Structure 1
Amino acid sequence: MPSQRRVGVVGLGEMGGAIATRLTHQGVTVFGLDVDPAYRNPSPLFRRAATLAEVAEYCEFLLIAVATDEQVEQVVMGEGGWLECGPVDSSVIVHSTISPTTCKDLAEALSVDGITLIDAGMSRGSGKMVDGSLTLFTGGAPDTLDRLRPLLELYSDNIVHAGPVGAGMTLKLCNNLLLHANRLAMLEAARLAGHAGIDNQTFAAGIATSTGSSWVLQHWGSLDDGILHGGLGDHPFAVRAIRELDLAAGLVTDSKLVLDAAVTTVRRFPKILTRGWPRLADATDWLGLAATGRVVLTTRGAHSGRDHRVELQYLLDENRLIVFASNGGAHSHPDWYHNLTAHPHCTAEIGDTLHRVTVTDLPEPERTRLFERQADIDPVFHDYRAATQRIIPVLALTPTGPARIEYTR
């Protein structure tokens, strides 16, 4: 790629900044744009732009490495965005981790003005990004990728063409889902080893050269220690990982596939990242709970035997949590009710506390008394009752001690 070529980079954070630095090392003039002035590049080939219009004046390639779908959309479609000011026949390369659907929509909008777009999700290689060690999962037309490959090869040593626009980001999200699932499994194995008196250093050293090894284990660091000891709170790593898991959850849901490990990861790991593992409750009461709130039940399927999670509103009644099978006023009982009548033992999660509970389907007149009490607190329950001819079941959850894990086949 001739050195006189110019490239615009929007988003000069950890990843975008590393790409900008690598490109200037390769003799490319980079026009960088970011609201945060923290990025520094002493190369005379780096120029900080004030607007996209300034970038468009000099550049035929635009690399986007901002944080969210909304930010990418603003760069491309917003006021003063690339659709408005970008030159005809220019190319947009989306490195931001965003929804594949967003990539497709933006590519279609830009194509009307003769601008091409590919998605190029990023994953670190074995070396440093500033040395060109970077995997790119790309999605786009083959001829477009062939035209852009000389540029991409300046900062990536592994370019994977996954398919049409959106396919690169899909592969990137699959990679990240596997990464986070691997980390979750590794940390739970470390907790299990720790429970048996094996410290983290011995655990990691023993497994690193064995069949259970992985990239995350070989790169065990302070962040993993932080997750094990109460979570990371709003640390940028946790924020980014949770956003990636949310995008992966969309793929899992849309696929309609049975993906138990994926579902467990996208549902459970975000809370673990920020707050650590739930505390197993040793008490057999609900001391300290609010009078009403939300509880997450993990039930066993009446027919499938699989675990299912459902979030419900509860009412505290002395030493019992009361839940209501209102199903929004539908004419049939919710699935979780059938699960609990078939298997009346489950776990109840409130905040960071996990209880094992026994479930009782309450008879009259107690059912009516508690339903009326709930409806007085939240009048929508009057609407639920009026919308259906069925008797809405009311169930009591009584804590029976610490939670336990039951494996089903």
Structure 2
Amino acid sequence: MRIFTKYVLSELLKVFLLTLGVMTLMMFVGLLGKKAVDLGLGLGGLLQLTPYVLPEALQFTLPGALLLTVTGIYGRMAASNELVAIKSMGISPMVMVWPTLILSVFVSFSAVWFNDLAVSWGRQGQERVILESMEAIAYGQLRVKGSFEHGNLTVHVQGVEGRTLIEPTLVIREKGKEFANIVSARAAQFAANVETGQLVLRMQDTDATGQLDIVAPGVEEYVFPLEELLGSRNKSRSPSDYSLGEIGPAKAKELDTIHKVRQDMSTEAAFAMLTGDFDELSDGAWRSQEKVIQNAEGRLNRFYSEPYRRWSNGFSCLAFAAVGIPVAVMLRKGEMLASFFACFAPILLIYYPMFYSCMVLAKKGSAAPQCLWIANAVLLLIGIYLMRKEVKH
């Protein structure tokens, strides 16, 4: 028995590590290339991004690499009649299956960890590198072209001396507004604040038109959050950016917000009834508080569903392997890609629509977050049924 276990694990690990390396490299290059095009990062910035992008690439490639490996190995075994030979010796083919399922469990735990690492440490690191690179990019473009444009910000200068911008002019465009704010100054300097995720422009002797309409001698600071520079106006951190360890305190914070707002609403209602000010009890008077509660409940639903999403997404590796093994044996194809696509097509048509439908319902609060395991459970049941069928025959 140990000979069969060592043989299967040896074949699996060799092919899996090679496949994972190739697929991760391709995904990694694609992600870096996209960021280089979207953000205009140079070679130095891309090299700094490397460790932070790697977990993001691995969370996508681990399930696919495992499925490709499993379908390839077991398809070749079936095509060369290795499983038939084991049956003829009176040995259950499951001795060739258990090592793969156990390996899939370890890979699934790794996928959960990489998923958590990518959305917390990875994204924060990427934002920090982008911010630091943004300062260098801004100075580089201002020296060469005399202007720098990113997101809703455009800067024009007469010249650059060291780190000092000579007679800079800022054009700040607000989304949905016809006119932009224009700010000019005698001199200015860019500075990146890595801790707060902001790009700060310190301007000397400013003169602003538009909604700002100010003349301010001395030094004025204009702060541009990274979200604004990248064209996003989201002011709150998305629940998908929290690590699993941060989700518990975040849920408590949202619950506390809902409790405080409802408590304030009760107090205000009681006071309005005592004073006879019934206008304060109208629906319009509660609109702002109800919006706060609605936003907090929406974020709370996402916080409740996020751990289930990450764990079920990670354990899709096990579900894919459970289906891939019997399907590859049934097809008896020695080519890796033939078995892979024959197995991946039903997964693409069944698993992912089911998973994302459940995720939408869970985020809206229309279904319990545990429903995110349904797609995995369906694949596991199909895999168990097909395995039992193959073992019997």
* Shorter-normalised TM range: under 0.3
Give TM-score scaled by structure 1 length: 0.22
Q: Which has the higher strand share?
A: 1
Q: Which has the higher helix share?
A: 2
- By relative contact order (CA 8 Å, sep 6+), the higher-ranking structure is 2
